[in-house]
Amino acid sequence: MFTYDTLIDAVQTGKKQFVNTFVQNEAVKNAMVTFIDAQADYTKKAVKVGTDTASVLTSEFMKASQEAMKFDYSKFGEGFGKAFSAAKK
């Protein structure tokens, strides 16, 4: 199964290769690589929290939908009709 970590790692590896190829100053290179690693870590955590949140929201929506299908609308209609009739008198 596809995971977002694979895509994130691919993009960050590309950035590192670019830096290693074109940046000549070792101090700058190390600082940029450290920054790229921090970006990768943050992005992976953000994606995980986002997908976990979406999963929980979807699960809870499905539970609520199933409960709504169990609701007896005919009894609700009868009760509503009785309440409306009583209020009219």
Are 12 and 37 spatial neighbours (Cβ–Cβ below 8 Å)? yes
What's the rounded Cα separation, in Å, for the pair 69 and 82? 23
Write the pLDDT tens digit of every residue in 38-80: 999 999 999 999 999 999 999 999 999 888 787 777 777 777 6
Are 37 and 29 spatial neighbours (Cβ–Cβ below 8 Å)? no
1: confidence class by pLDDT, cuts 50, 70, 90:
very low
The whole-model pTM stands at 0.69
Write the pLDDT tens digit of every residue in 4-20: 999 999 999 999 999 99
